[in-house]
Amino acid sequence: MHHPRELLATVFGYGAFRPGQEEIVEAVLEGRDTLAIMPTGGGKSLCFQLPALCRDGVTVVISPLIALMRDQVRSLREAGVEAGALTSGNTDEETEAVFQALDEGRLKLLYMAPERLASPGTMGLLRRIGTRLIAVDEAHCVSQWGHDFRPDYLRIGELKQSLGVPLAAFTATADEETRAEIVTRLFGGVEPATFLRGFDRPNIHLAFAVKDNPRRQILDFAGARKGQSGIVYCGTRSKTEVLAQALREAGHAACHYHGGMEAEDRRGVEVRFQQEDGLIVCATIAFGMGIDKPDIRWVAHADLSKSIEAYYQEIGRAGRDGAPAETLTLYGPDDIRLRRSQIDESQAPLDRKQADHARLNALLGLAEATACRRQVLLSYFGEASEPCGNCDLCDRPAQLFDATDAVRKALSAVLRTGESFGAGHLIDILTGAETPKVRERGHDALPTFGVGRDLSKTAWGAVFRQMMGRDLLRPDPDRFGALRMTEGARPILRGEETITLRRDTVQAAQQRTAVKTLVSEEDAPLLSALKAKRRALAEAARVPAYVIFPDRTLIEMVERRPASMDDMARISGIGAKKLESYGAAFLAVITGATENLHPQRLRLAGQPAADIFDRLAEAQLRLMRGEDGIEKPLSLSQSVLRRIAEARPTTLADLDRVGDLGAAKLERFGTAFLAICRGD
């Protein structure tokens, strides 16, 4: 028998095991039944491939995806290992070659799809070739809980029994129910040696954001990572197509992927994604199982996942090479309502529904977290950790406030109206809005009427969203989604518990409201000055006023008070052309000053490269006559600075190529410019 460490080096070319791999390999080698739960990208295939090479006989690997099996067989053969696959995708020649290798006793690893277990000859074949071990990849497919349940997986348990061989099962899904079901169905209820390996993927940056013009948020996120491969997960098939189109219009290479496409088109997208650099795929969760692309740099969720397991598997597809990767998950009250109603309306038995609600609660707890997200995420998988410094809440701590009072007011409004209304009507009551619906129902006479005037309507919206996220309120499917109080809210209502919510997501909501209410009294004079400027420009250009800017854009100018052309560029409705034509005129009205940007600098306004451009320009000024200020003056044109700021070169050679500097300028500016491009 070969020693695993030798083979690790000679066959696979690794000098050492990754954390957690060695003990799993040892358990499998000793012939123990094994269940290994490892995060996506944690190196689980090695944990059955290596023992297979060390043991006599054949190891049969059962795997759900033809593409995945083909990849693994190909890379094993390239490493000099005899492996083969029997799948419905084989040509007759391929199948013949596999049988020949089996008959000659050359084959060590035989991959097959679970569907093949249903065919009558399989049992005899596996006996005849001397099967010594069964390895099951993606073992959560046996679970009715899983998002990809495969009925044929249920036959693996019988296969193990009748062959009388050990079984090693691998999955990245770690919740209790799925684990219990794997043990029952694959191991006949006898606890295997179980390994739960570090779930942390420290290179992945975690971030969530409340939906606020989600398409814009996704486009901004992708725009800041231009040229990098990414996946955008969407809740519906149509959204994948719409977003892919929007990304293409914004200048990205993007395509869509969902279960409703022809198999050939789907395969085409998978191949493009594997081979092209910087392709973005907008996909439903049908995409990604078995995608072994190491350099996916970011994953964005345009809609909330179903559970923490699903979320973690989806973001786990980023950064498998260990280099930094980023994620962004958008969510809002509609996601919460949709996911709740999907659970309530499913055919599942009550206990299953309750468990599904609890799983959703865990994910919402992560979304509405008030401190380090990784701690929340890892504690769900039973791991303790320090604050990670690599999530949005470590980057910028949440502002919290004691929301006990606000939450009690909201709960009181829910109860006094018989748990029969949605958030909109309840917020009207709390803010004292005398709508026809409030008057008709006599709700303006309630003691709760107007007790929440200290918060704006949208701020109340954010409070209700966080209450739904904490599962204090839940939409009732039998009453058109009216909110009803859960047991968890009672202690707060009775004053036995306090509750802390995030103020920043409430305030962000408050800042955004003004678009609906026009503007506050103190802002009115500025708005009318901007409208006068717009009218003058419109008359001069002989176009209707809204062609210059719609009201919404002027209101946002009032709200955000842009102080520079960069700020101006970030206001919605101001593209590059309009910024160039009208930006300075409107900025002068707001600041009372004029800012004349060089046209090259103007082209970068509002983009991440703008900051780099400004720092390059400063450095150029500082070094114009050299470090000591006595050299011959050298300078670069603004368009060269722009090119450098956009390209962000990392080496002197790149810098020279991008800006065509020549030796003297490279020596003068090179190191300073590179430091700026690196962000030092």
Q: Please state, in angstroms and rounded to a whole number, the distance separating the CA atoms of residues 416 and 321.
A: 55
CA 638 to chain centre: 37
Mean pLDDT for the chain overall: 85
Q: Which residues contact 296 (CB under 8 A, 6 or more apart)?
A: 229, 230, 231, 317, 318, 319, 320, 325
In terms of DSSP bridges, do strands 279-283 and 230-233 run parallel, antiparallel, or are they unpaired? parallel
Residue 294: CA count within 13 A, CB half-sphere: 5
Q: Is the pLDDT of residue 590 over 60?
A: yes
141-190 pLDDT, tens digit each = 887 765 567 778 888 888 888 888 999 999 877 677 788 888 888 888 88
Q: Please state, in angstroms and rounded to a whole number, the distance separating the CA atoms of residues 576 and 578.
A: 6
- The proportion of the chain whose per-residue pLDDT surpasses 90, expressed as a percent, equals 30
Q: For the chain, give the number of residues.
A: 680
Q: Is the pLDDT of residue 36 over 80?
A: yes
pLDDT of 517: 43
188-213 pLDDT, tens digit each = 888 898 887 667 888 899 999 999 88
Q: How confident is the model at residue 18 (pLDDT cuts 50, 70, 90)?
A: confident
Instruction: State the CATH architecture for 518-592.
Output: Orthogonal Bundle (1.10)
Q: Please state, in angstroms and rounded to a whole number, the distance separating the CA atoms of residues 257 and 112.
A: 26
In 480-637, which ranges are E strands? 482-485, 500-502
pLDDT of 446: 92
CA 618 to chain centre: 37
Q: Which two tokens mark 53?
A: 């090479």
Q: Is the pLDDT of residue 16 over 50?
A: yes
Phi, psi of 365, deg, nearest 5: -60, -35
Q: Please state, in angstroms and rounded to a whole number, the distance separating the CA atoms of residues 281 and 318.
A: 13
Q: Are 583 and 544 in contact (CB under 8 A)?
A: no
Q: In 3D, which of 215, 286, 224, 313 has the Cα closest to residue 610?
A: 224
pLDDT of 146: 57
pLDDT of 253: 94
Q: Is the pLDDT of residue 595 over 60?
A: no
This prediction has a pTM of 0.61
Q: In 3D, which of 131, 91, 139 has the Cα closest to residue 108?
A: 131
pLDDT of 549: 86
In 434-593, which ranges are E strands? 473-476, 482-485, 500-502
Q: In 3D, which of 200, 210, 208 has the Cα closest to residue 388?
A: 200
pLDDT of 650: 87
Q: Which residues contact 347 (CB under 8 A, 6 or more apart)?
A: none
pLDDT of 512: 45
pLDDT of 71: 82
CATH topology classification for 4-196 = Rossmann fold (3.40.50)
Q: Please state, in angstroms and rounded to a whole number, the distance separating the CA atoms of residues 125 and 649.
A: 58
- The proportion of the chain whose per-residue pLDDT surpasses 70, expressed as a percent, equals 93
Give, in degrees to the nearest 5, the angle at Cα 324 between 196 and 675: 150
Domain 204-395 in CATH 1.10.357.140: no
Q: How confident is the model at residue 521 (pLDDT cuts 50, 70, 90)?
A: low
Q: How confident is the model at residue 514 (pLDDT cuts 50, 70, 90)?
A: very low
DSSP three-state, residue 196:
strand
pLDDT of 664: 87
- Helix 46-54 vs helix 21-29: crossing angle, to nearest 10: 40
More confident residue, 148 or 611: 611
DSSP three-state, residue 34:
strand
Q: Please state, in angstroms and rounded to a whole number, the distance separating the CA atoms of residues 431 and 418.
A: 18
Q: Is the pLDDT of residue 600 over 80?
A: no
Phi, psi of 233, deg, nearest 5: -85, 130
pLDDT of 636: 85
What mean pLDDT comes out for the span 316-340?
Answer: 89
Q: Is the pLDDT of residue 335 over 70?
A: yes
What mean pLDDT comes out for the span 642-663?
Answer: 88
Q: Are 269 and 281 in contact (CB under 8 A)?
A: yes
Q: Are 54 and 7 in contact (CB under 8 A)?
A: yes
pLDDT of 302: 96
Phi, psi of 537, deg, nearest 5: -65, -40
Q: Is the pLDDT of residue 605 over 80?
A: no
Q: Please state, in angstroms and rounded to a whole number, the distance separating the CA atoms of residues 35 and 135.
A: 10
pLDDT of 411: 95
What mean pLDDT comes out for the span 232-238?
Answer: 93
Q: How confident is the model at residue 535 (pLDDT cuts 50, 70, 90)?
A: confident
Q: Say yes or no: do domains 400-513 and 518-592 share a fold.
A: no
Highest mean pLDDT: which range of 48-52, 88-92, 150-154, 567-571: 48-52
Bridge partners for 86 per DSSP: 112
Residue 34 vs residues 26, 113, 164, 366, 372: alpha-carbon distances, Å? 10, 20, 15, 31, 33
Phi, psi of 564, deg, nearest 5: -150, 170
What DSSP element (H or E) covers 522?
A: none
| Residues 370, 374, 376, 379, Cα dihedral to 10° | -160
Q: Please state, in angstroms and rounded to a whole number, the distance separating the CA atoms of residues 607 and 655.
A: 20
Bridge partners for 85 per DSSP: 111
First to last CA, the chain: 53
In terms of DSSP bridges, do strands 230-233 and 298-301 run parallel, antiparallel, or are they unpaired? parallel
Q: Please state, in angstroms and rounded to a whole number, the distance separating the CA atoms of residues 644 and 612.
A: 9
pLDDT of 513: 39
- Domain ranges in the chain are 4-196, 204-395, 400-513, 518-592, 608-678
Give the dihedral sign, CA 547/549/552/554: negative
Q: Please state, in angstroms and rounded to a whole number, the distance separating the CA atoms of residues 31 and 219.
A: 51
pLDDT of 409: 95
pLDDT of 341: 87
Bridge partners for 476 per DSSP: 482
Q: Which residues contact 505 (CB under 8 A, 6 or more apart)?
A: 210, 462, 465, 466
Residue 632 vs residues 467, 626, 663, 664: alpha-carbon distances, Å? 66, 8, 14, 10
Bridge partners for 352 per DSSP: none
pLDDT of 128: 87
Bridge partners for 210 per DSSP: 331
86-101 pLDDT, tens digit each = 888 888 898 899 999 9
What number does CATH give the domain 608-678?
1.10.150
pLDDT of 297: 93
pLDDT of 518: 52
Pick the CATH number of 400-513 from 1.10.10.10, 2.60.40.10, 3.40.50.2000, 3.40.640.10: 1.10.10.10
Q: Is the pLDDT of residue 515 over 50?
A: no
DSSP 298-344: EEEESS--SSHHHHHHHHTTS-TTSS-EEEEEEE-HHHHHHHHHHHH
Q: Which two tokens mark 240?
A: 């994948």
